[in-house]
Structure 1
Amino acid sequence: MNKPLLLGWVTAIIAVLGSLFFSEVLHYVPCTLCWYQRILMYPLAVFLGVAFYHNNSRIASYVLPLSALGVIVSGYHIALQKIPALKQFEVCSAGVPCSQDYINWLGFITIPMLAFVAFVIITACMLVLNRREE
């Protein structure tokens, strides 16, 4: 069994289900940056699931750009929420402001933080897979 591939896939599934729970059950309207993070995460659940089923470690080269970009977008989103001086650089111009915290568990766990952790886990798993392929 390919453990990094399985961990990456399970992480992506949890992230997708979590985002759907926040929007569809709790009715939190996603901001622009949340949509970008979803655009990057949702395909990962499919790609990693198919790769795990076929035990295809070569998927890492396709997943890494998406997950690394997800780390950057969610990292920026966290900074936007936690650093007041960055609000002047907010990209959300309509709808829900990107600096809004729907959740703030323990004073630092927000929805973008959850996405950031998921993207980091997936990126780390893909880097492990890349090392094994070399």
Structure 2
Amino acid sequence: MSKQNTLDQTPRGWYLLFAVWVIATAGTLISLFFSEVVQLPVCVLCWYQRIAMYPLVLMLPLALFPFEPKVIRYAGVLTAFGWLTALFHVLLVAGLVPEGAQPCVAGIPCSEIKFTLFGFLNIPVMSLLTFSLIGILLYYSKTQESS
């Protein structure tokens, strides 16, 4: 079998799932860079988002070799949890969450921004965008699997 035939037989969902793994790996490495190299303190909501992101880096390669599309639903659950947590964090930073509902009352405040990129992208917004992109790619990989 030629290499071209092998590429033609690879499901499109595989490529999308591989892209999700690359994005999750980049998000994991960037979050570790911020906390371990730059020494930015990690708030409670950031830890919850990490709990949703880090398992994707380990889970998705197991679904790629051999391709196992059923993992998409498990990755989707983690992504939804991370997305909701990131959305709450963005709303908290924007001041739209009442003080009584804020989880970070002691220790490192979740509403404090210590890093921005281009003057408007803070870490919670970057996390929300990352989980959004992962969710979209997982959705499309799921539709590729069923078609």
Q: Distance in 2 between matches of 1:72 and 1:107?
A: 24
Counterpart residue number, 1:4: 16
Candidates 21, 38, 49, aligned match of 2:33 = 21
Deviation string 1:8-29 (CA, Å, 9 cap, x unpaired) is: 0000000100110000001111
Where in structure 2 are the equivalents of 1:105-116 lying within 5 Å? 105-116=117-128
Counterpart residue number, 1:79: 91
Counterpart residue number, 1:124: 136
1:86 positional shift: 2.4
Secondary structure, counterpart of 2:40 in structure 1: coil
Deviation string 1:53-92 (CA, Å, 9 cap, x unpaired) is: 3222221111101101111100110111122x52513111
Candidates 41, 47, 54, aligned match of 2:66 = 54
**TM-score, normalising length from structure 2?**
0.84
Where in structure 2 are the equivalents of 1:87-98 lying within 5 Å? 88=99, 89-98=101-110
1:106 positional shift: 2.8
Identity across the alignment (%): 34
Q: Which amino acid aligns with 1:120?
A: S
Larger Rg: 2
Counterpart residue number, 2:5: none
Secondary structure, counterpart of 2:119 in structure 1: coil
Unpaired segments ≥5 residues, structure 2:
1-9
Unpaired segments ≥5 residues, structure 1:
none
- Between Structure 1 and Structure 2, how many residues are aligned? 133
**TM-score, normalising length from structure 1?**
0.92
